[in-house]
Amino acid sequence: MEFTAEMIAGFLGGEIVGDKAAKVHTVSSIEEGREGSLAYLTNLKYEPFLYTTGASIVLVDRSFTPSQSVAATLIKVDDAAACVLRLLEMYNAAKPRRTGISRLASISDQAHVGKECYVGDFTVIEEEVTVGDRCQIYPQVYLGRGVTVGEGTILYPGVKIYEGCHVGKNCILHAGAVIGADGFGFAPNAEGGFDKIPQLGNVVIEDNVEIGANTCIDRAKTDSTIIRRGVKLDNLIQIGHNVQVGENTVSSAQTGIAGTSKVGRNCFIAGQVGIADHVTIGDRVVIGSKSGVDKGIPDGEVRMGYPAMPGLRFHRASAVYKNLPELQKRVDELEKALKNLKNEQ
């Protein structure tokens, strides 16, 4: 779709500086801006790019005054960052929705697919599955027996949801996500091998959850692995059996949460964090990247490092660690001087 500066300014309540008829059909960063794109300046360290960008329109804060001439049309708004988000949401909503059920999809006669749904090629929907209205199910998705998918949810290509699992409303599961595979449960036996522990529970994903590509959420041994409403999980995350993740918690890529651990509400977990089994993490906790968490964390705390420690202590320890070679040299020199003093006595 194509938008003019006048249309965008009207939608955002902005002020136009330049050509009100300037048109855009896509969005770009200010560094990579090209003709026909809308860019934005939300951080003044990128201001030099404003004077060289090829973008046709640039959003800026109302208080901003250029120090040089600008070729692009400017739209001044109260909060450029917030307005960018609004425009992206508007642009995304304007994209045409796919509709119809492919003749190459396999849908059980005992399944129910709601109104205005899209089901792509080679999708398999087994018996007793319920899919809500206005869902978008892309090619090669698998929904096992008894799965429920809430209305408005999007399942991108290759998503696999094992039997008995539940996905709420308005969720987004990206390509290759696996929901409900067996938890990693094995018991040593008398022969020195391992016997598989049956995983009889399921996974429950509440409303407005987004799950990244190739993320795996294991089914519970009994009861449910639960991802509460509003959770956002990045790509390549592993969630073990019987884990519970609290509302509006977010996690970056390559995090692993071992079985039966509980993560509270509104937590931020950075990339490559490892959380041991049976750990309880409170609400509003922040965990830095590559941290290893093997003990519980109270509400509102910050943890960093391996093993994870309070943030301030971690920074102090890091400062010492960087100076270890020099400190070792000083210790060697002091020991040598002390030895010489003893020899002189």
Q: Give residue-wise pLDDT tens across range 154-175.
A: 999 999 999 999 999 999 999 9
Reported residue count of the chain is 345
**pLDDT tens track for 256-282:** 999 999 999 999 999 999 999 999 999
Using an 8 Å Cβ cutoff, are 56 and 73 in contact?
yes
> What distance in Å separates the CA atoms of residue 125 and residue 96, rounded to the nearest whole number?
24
As its CATH architecture, domain 3-94 has 3-Layer(aba) Sandwich (3.40)
Q: What's 305's DSSP letter?
A: T
pLDDT above 90 (res 90): no
Q: Token pair for residue 255?
A: 């995090």
pLDDT of 4 above 90: yes
Question: What is the bridge-based pairing of β-strands 118-119 and 302-304?
Answer: unpaired
If you classify domain 100-313 with CATH, what class do you get? mainly beta
Is the pLDDT assigned to residue 244 strictly greater than 80? yes
How far is 73 from 78, CA to CA, in rounded Å?
17
Across 233-250, b (16+ Cβ under 10 Å) vs e yields: bbbbbbbbbbbbbbbbbb
Counting residues of the chain whose pLDDT is more than 90, the rounded percentage is 83
Q: What distances in angstroms separate CA 106 from CA 33, 125, 167, 210, 233, one per listed residue? A: 44, 6, 20, 26, 29
Q: In what order do the strands lie in the sheet with 26-27?
A: 15-17, 73-77, 57-61, 37-40, 26-27
pLDDT at 318 over 90: no
Looking at the predicted structure, is the pLDDT value of residue 340 above 90?
no
Cis? peptide before 139, omega within 30° of 0 = no
Q: Is the pLDDT score of 46 beyond 90?
A: yes
Residues tagged active-site: 241
Average pLDDT over the chain reads 95
Give the pLDDT of residue 197.
94
Sign of CA dihedral 305, 306, 312, 316: negative
Query: pLDDT at residue 236 above 90?
Result: yes
* For residues 181-198, average pLDDT: 95
Mean pLDDT of 244-267: 98
* CA dist., res. 256 & res. 254, Å (int): 6
Classify residue 297 by its DSSP letter.
Answer: B
What is the CA 121 to chain-centroid distance, rounded? 27
User: 322: pLDDT confidence band, cut at 50, 70 and 90?
Assistant: confident
Distance separating alpha carbons of residues 36 and 190, to the nearest angstrom: 70
Count Cα neighbours of 57 within 13 Å in the Cβ-side half-sphere: 30
Residue with the larger pLDDT of the pair 167 and 327? 167
What does the pLDDT read at residue 274?
97
Single-letter amino acid, residue 180: G
Predicted TM-score (pTM) of the model is: 0.85
